Structure 1
Amino acid sequence: MKPKHSIVREYILSKILNGTFEPHQKINSESELMEKFHVSRHTVRQAIGDLVTQGWLYSKQGSGTFCADKSKRQTKTSDIKNIAIITTYISDYIFSSIIRGAESYLSRKGYNVSLFSTNNNYQNEKEFLERVLILHPDGVIIEPTKSALSNPNLSLYLNLEKLKIPYIMINAYYDELEPVSITIDDEKGGYLQTKHLIELGHENIIGFFKTDDLQGTRRMKGYLKALREHSIPINPKFIITFETSDKMTKPVEKLNKLLSQENNVKPTGIVCYNDELAILLLNLLREKKIVVPDEISIVGYDDSFLAEASEVKLTTIEHPKIKMGEDAAKMIIDLVENVNESQRNNKLESIVYEPKLILRTSTKHITKKI
């Protein structure tokens, strides 16, 4: 259990980092903090004293305690160049390749790298953004957390901007911030997945989409667009949405139910949010002795190492993983090294990669029953 003075200190520091306390603004009084946390005056003074020592606060005799001017306090004390990378995951799935691409380029350019993984969790994102604001790196590469939803940590991103710490976003972005970003045209990717199956004669196509991330909502939009353009009736039961918290369970349960009900129209094609999900569903199909692609075709997304790890090689959408990492590194260095306002006004353009379908053996022409 944390010491009581640490809890009080972290509360005050969090208010400073998210911009609630502005430079030279008076913070809560000792009495208010005592009442809020049910602690002694000694505990409150210990917490405030720590932050005064660290340069976050200053006191005026008889007036109270005030937030220090962070812009003056945050000056570089060494020639070491640092870039922070915050991603939803580090070693899982395609993320290690993205990070490897970024780290390799940054290292060649003389930058140290600090890595943080949010596990697609807002509280983790908050803690790491606060740590980044304390460390004050030269720049930050960020993969946003649950990018399709309203983010509770926007004030921390705004504080990055206030402190003139450049950042870019990869894979997705928070639309309200309008950051420089590097993404794939995920709507087109979802369209290509679905169009491929339609061209193979499939009409009963299930789409699985993770909808707490922007990628998933856009891939679903592409799926719907392809069905509409080809005049294929949209079956609401064939649109399966899920979130990060139930990604390992809900899709399997829903597919199992659809395949088990005798009176239902049986799907002949599956569009997957990513390759990880495709492998999960392939395992279920194998258990049910449904042969891929003879009885059902399946398309993944990301062209990850998983696409060729199974006995069924996945048709999938290419993700330029290492290139994305390298491009992100180049972009953040460009922002860091062109710091004066006249140069910054020539804002870097965001990058949107064109998706490409990679054909393998998980899809085939449907055999029409007579």
Structure 2
Amino acid sequence: MRCRSVAETKYNKVKGWIRSKILDGTYAPNQKIASESELMKQFDVSRHTVRVAIGELVSEGWLYTEQGAGTFCTDRALNQQEAPPSSPKKIAIITTYISDYIFPSIIRGAESEISKKGYHVSLFSTNNDHENEKRILETIITQRFDGVIIEATKSATSNPNLNYYLNLESLGIPYIMINAYYDELEPVSVVVDDENGGYLQTEHLIKLGHRNIAGFFKTDDLQGVKRMKGFIKALREYGIPINPKNIITYTTSEKTVKPAECLKSMLESSQEKPSGLVCYNDELVMRLLDVIRKKELNVPEDISIVGFDNSFLAEVSEVKLTTIEHPKSELGKMAAKMILEMIAKGKGSKQGSSIESYVFETKLIIRNSTSCLSPE
């Protein structure tokens, strides 16, 4: 039994590698793949193992062989057109996170619409990691989902998985991006007006008399970049000098430590301390409130703070947050309706679809975490 398990692992490794190279575009349709001898050497396996892997890929429609010529990559887009509709009907929802923060509300909104049409929903989380995104996209393509709702992973950075999205398009599998998108693909998307949201956060503090305002933004996601743009725009329009030291940027991997450390340094500095904080989201506000408490400062008496997303966190803390509304469930519902329409029309996202992207307007929800700056 043990030997059999090892053999199965070896041929699956070869099979998985070939399939991955097809999906990422290394092997184009009708292109010859590596020879049996090359694969034997690369994976240190027997010819039998290689042939079992190739044989399964041939039977599954990934490859075809020509006697005396070798093995070639199938034109799967052509096969997709000839194939019968998939059964059961299934739609994938891919978000950076599933059970945290605002994501359950987005997912519930989408599921409620999708289930009405008899589709099964499969949930996936990338944990905002490109390698996870790659594995999930391979699953989506291999299992031939009818459509996909996707939250872009680290949407403000260069994405190594763009070929997988092009593969979706070539196979006629429609997809919609939510919250953010990969600009290179110009996909159909459902997003929030993040730039205006950042502007409203900042303008609110300015109108309360604050001038020394610090902004904290996660910049490996497009949302954070746009919110920072709105922050800078508001300061400029109101003629307030921009202090580069008051713009704190961080990445996903730094979010639990860097913003809090930077605020701590600001509050301990001999320089003038910020009287107002603009935050990337409500989740960040919770971390910064811990720093403010430890410094024995009060919100909003000593420092005002504005969040983003109007999440459940905005009302569960002792300080009720002034924040920007995020449609959450409505965003999920909108994306679901759009992907269902795209599926019904039988068109991929870049194949002549008439579906237009949608942008939700932002509005400020004023609570107790901000107040007028007291004159000195």
Shorter-chain TM-score: what band? over 0.9
Query: Helix, strand or coil for the counterpart of 2:91?
Result: strand
Which amino acid is 1:297 matched to? S
Alignment partner for residue 102 of structure 2, among 80, 89, 94? 94
What corresponds to 1:311 in structure 2? Answer: 318
Show structure 1 runs of 5+ residues with no match: none
Write the distance in 2 (CA, Å) between the matches of 1:240 and 1:311. Answer: 25
What corresponds to 1:108 in structure 2? Answer: 116
Partner deviation per Cα, 1:198-246 (whole Å, 9 max, x = no partner): 1111111110000000000000000001111111111111100000011
Instruction: Kindly state the Cα deviation for residue 77 of structure 1 after the two structures are TM-superposed.
Output: 5.4
Write the distance in 2 (CA, Å) between the matches of 1:124 and 1:64. Answer: 33
2:216 is equivalent to residue 208 of structure 1: yes
Write the distance in 1 (CA, Å) between the matches of 2:43 and 2:88. Answer: 39
Instruction: Kindly state the Cα deviation for residue 18 of structure 1 after the two structures are TM-superposed.
Output: 2.3
What corresponds to 1:268 in structure 2? Answer: 275
Instruction: Kindly state the Cα deviation for residue 23 of structure 1 after the two structures are TM-superposed.
Output: 2.9
Alignment partner for residue 337 of structure 1, among 344, 349, 357? 344
Instruction: Kindly state the Cα deviation for residue 305 of structure 1 after the two structures are TM-superposed.
Output: 0.4
What corresponds to 2:47 in structure 1? Answer: 41
Write the distance in 2 (CA, Å) between the matches of 1:291 and 1:48. Answer: 66
Question: Would the aligned equivalents of 2:214 and 2:277 in 1 still touch at CA under 8 Å?
Answer: yes
Residues 321, 32 of structure 1: alpha-carbon distance in 2 compared, 3 angstrom cutoff: same
1:116-131 equivalences under 5 Å are 116-131=124-139
What corresponds to 1:228 in structure 2? Answer: 236
Query: Helix, strand or coil for the counterpart of 1:142?
Result: strand
Write the distance in 2 (CA, Å) between the matches of 1:16 and 1:222. Answer: 41
Alignment partner for residue 24 of structure 2, among 4, 8, 18? 18
2:231 is equivalent to residue 218 of structure 1: no
2:148 is equivalent to residue 147 of structure 1: no
Question: Would the aligned equivalents of 2:347 and 2:353 in 1 still touch at CA under 8 Å?
Answer: no
Write the distance in 2 (CA, Å) between the matches of 1:95 and 1:212. Answer: 18
Write the distance in 1 (CA, Å) between the matches of 2:146 and 2:51. Answer: 33
Question: Would the aligned equivalents of 2:279 and 2:307 in 1 still touch at CA under 8 Å?
Answer: yes
Query: Helix, strand or coil for the counterpart of 1:49?
Result: helix
TM-align CA RMSD: 1.7
Partner deviation per Cα, 1:251-284 (whole Å, 9 max, x = no partner): 01111111112x2210110000000000111111
What corresponds to 1:352 in structure 2? Answer: 359
Deviates more, 1:131-140 or 1:332-341: 332-341
Which amino acid is 2:51 matched to? R
Write the distance in 2 (CA, Å) between the matches of 1:154 and 1:345. Answer: 20
Write the distance in 2 (CA, Å) between the matches of 1:218 and 1:72. Answer: 40
2:333 is equivalent to residue 326 of structure 1: yes
1:140-179 equivalences under 5 Å are 140-179=148-187
Write the distance in 2 (CA, Å) between the matches of 1:212 and 1:193. Answer: 20
2:169 is equivalent to residue 133 of structure 1: no
Residues 346, 46 of structure 1: alpha-carbon distance in 2 compared, 3 angstrom cutoff: closer
Instruction: Kindly state the Cα deviation for residue 78 of structure 1 after the two structures are TM-superposed.
Output: 5.0
Residues 78, 220 of structure 1: alpha-carbon distance in 2 compared, 3 angstrom cutoff: closer
Show structure 2 runs of 5+ residues with no match: 1-5
What corresponds to 2:89 in structure 1? Answer: 81
Partner deviation per Cα, 1:153-210 (whole Å, 9 max, x = no partner): 0000001110111111100111111111111111110000000001111111110000
Deviates more, 1:52-61 or 1:271-280: 52-61
Question: Would the aligned equivalents of 2:86 and 2:144 in 1 still touch at CA under 8 Å?
Answer: no
Write the distance in 1 (CA, Å) between the matches of 2:86 and 2:246. Answer: 57
Partner deviation per Cα, 1:45-100 (whole Å, 9 max, x = no partner): 23223322333222223221122232354424555321111111111100110000
Q: Normalising by structure 1, report the TM-score.
A: 0.95
Which amino acid is 1:364 matched to? S
Q: Normalising by structure 2, report the TM-score.
A: 0.94
Which amino acid is 2:302 matched to? E
Write the distance in 2 (CA, Å) between the matches of 1:293 and 1:340. Answer: 52
Alignment partner for residue 253 of structure 1, among 258, 261, 273? 261
Write the distance in 2 (CA, Å) between the matches of 1:346 and 1:331. Answer: 11
Write the distance in 2 (CA, Å) between the matches of 1:117 and 1:187. Answer: 26
Instruction: Kindly state the Cα deviation for residue 33 of structure 1 after the two structures are TM-superposed.
Output: 1.7
Query: Helix, strand or coil for the counterpart of 1:55?
Result: coil
Which amino acid is 2:311 matched to? S
2:72 is equivalent to residue 66 of structure 1: yes
Write the distance in 1 (CA, Å) between the matches of 2:347 and 2:364. Answer: 42
Query: Helix, strand or coil for the counterpart of 1:24?
Result: coil
Which amino acid is 2:306 matched to? V
Query: How many residues of Structure 1 are paired with residues of Structure 2 in the alignment?
Result: 366
Instruction: Kindly state the Cα deviation for residue 298 of structure 1 after the two structures are TM-superposed.
Output: 0.3
